[in-house]
Amino acid sequence: MSLHTEPRIPHFRLAVPPVSGVLRPRTVAVSAVLAVLAFLVLSWDVTVGDYPIGLTDVMRALAGAGDPGTLVVVRELRLPRAVVALLVGVAFGVSGALLQTMTRNPLASPDMIGLTQGAGTAVTASIVLGWGGGPLGIQGVGLAGAALTALVVYVLAWRRGTTGYRIILVGIGVSWICTSATDYLVARGGRFQAQEALGWLVGDLNGRDWSAAVPLAAAMTVLLPVALLLGRLMRTLQLGDEVATGVGTRVQSVRLALLAAAVGLVAFGTAAAGPIAFVALAAPQIAQRLAGAAWPPLVASGLTGAVVVLFADVVARTLIAGVELPVGVVTGVLGAPVLIWLLARAYRADSEG
């Protein structure tokens, strides 16, 4: 039996009870650069719009100085939108990394296994049927939809345990069911409800304020530490279920915990900004190649997702003068080539194997 072995990358071990793990200098350096880049793009995002504001004026507004108009634009309109973009990107990037590691498949993402579609169907039903509840209600409905979808996928994929391959296949089928249900709800809804639902489904940051940012930030403060703690258990899954079981890993429990963390991240992210396409798929793969790692590093994946969403928001607001594109349209255009490249790479690997 042959095992896939990861490349020998320089690293040093960190041991801080009760958590221990491996820190690779290249991964740490890449994460630091991505964090700086995310801050720079966030600052850029706050300056652009119909009413351009210089970076100096933005900094003064954040400090509470400047004219009242600039204060309102920066602190009440653009900054919360940029914060939502940052948090959504982190949530999607980390959830994609969890799922790709869990299934050992670079094509696995919340979009592919139905989690995004499940949250989308639930939120669409809330909009069309007038359940309301404000941002907190939308967050809860999105979480419930994603959790229910994950439960259905997990149960249908169970056959003396689960495997990444079965989860992906079942998830693809469930995602199409959710998509059909969403289309039906939009078709049956009223004109204004349908327009609101369609605008949300494409993935949009327009109009996002602190009422959307605060619940998302609160959820992230709980989910991100959980995801990072689970990250130290993911490494053994890369060796395959039999080997992981042989070294003492409770494979099914770890896989279920990883799925639950991914569900929470994608549900709150989707509820805040809609199902922004391809971020959860592309960000972990980009981060993995930047870090030269054998699997997608969680922190770098989250920061890559943040940079992608923030940059897409800047492009969406500046590409066409006087027209603000949904950010999901931009990520779709940017992410489609990444998906094609991954498929071609997988096909080439199968052909050579």
Cis peptide before 18 (omega within 30 of 0): yes
Domain assignment present for residue 28? The answer is yes
DSSP 12: E
Tell me if 41 sits within 8 A of 311, measured CB to CB. yes
- Tell me whether residue 303 is in a domain: yes
* CATH number of the domain where residue 138 is located: 1.10.3470.10
Chain position carrying tokens 């994460």: 31
- Tokens coding 56: 């100096």
Flag whether 132 is in a domain. yes
Quote the pLDDT of residue 31.
95
Tell me the residue type at 274.
G
Tally Cβ neighbours within 10 Å of residue 68.
Answer: 8
259 neighbors 319 (Cβ within 8 angstroms): no
Residue 62 lies in a domain: yes
Give me the number of domains the chain comprises.
1
Question: Identity (one letter) of the amino acid at 238?
Answer: Q
Domain membership of residue 7 (yes or no) is no
- H or E stretch covering 21: strand 19-23
pLDDT 10s per residue in the chain (353 long)? 444 444 444 544 444 333 444 567 889 999 999 999 999 999 999 998 888 888 888 888 888 887 888 888 888 889 999 999 999 999 999 999 999 988 888 888 888 888 889 988 998 898 888 776 666 677 788 888 988 998 999 889 887 767 777 888 899 999 999 999 999 998 888 788 888 888 788 888 988 889 889 989 999 999 999 998 887 777 777 766 677 777 777 777 888 888 889 989 998 898 888 889 889 999 999 999 899 888 899 999 999 999 999 999 999 998 887 788 899 999 988 877 877 877 777 667 656 65
Q: Domain range spanning residue 219?
A: 22-323
Nearest to 11 by CA among 28, 29, 23, 27: 23
Asked whether the beta carbons of 237 and 295 are under 8 A apart, the reply is no
Question: In this structure, how many other beta carbons lie within 10 angstroms of the beta carbon of residue 199?
Answer: 16
Q: Is residue 249 part of a domain?
A: yes
Q: Is residue 353 part of a domain?
A: no
Nearest one of 158, 178, 202, 157 to 115, comparing CA atoms: 178
Contact call for residues 265 and 95 (beta carbons, < 8 A): yes
pTM of the full structure: 0.85
Q: Is residue 195 part of a domain?
A: yes
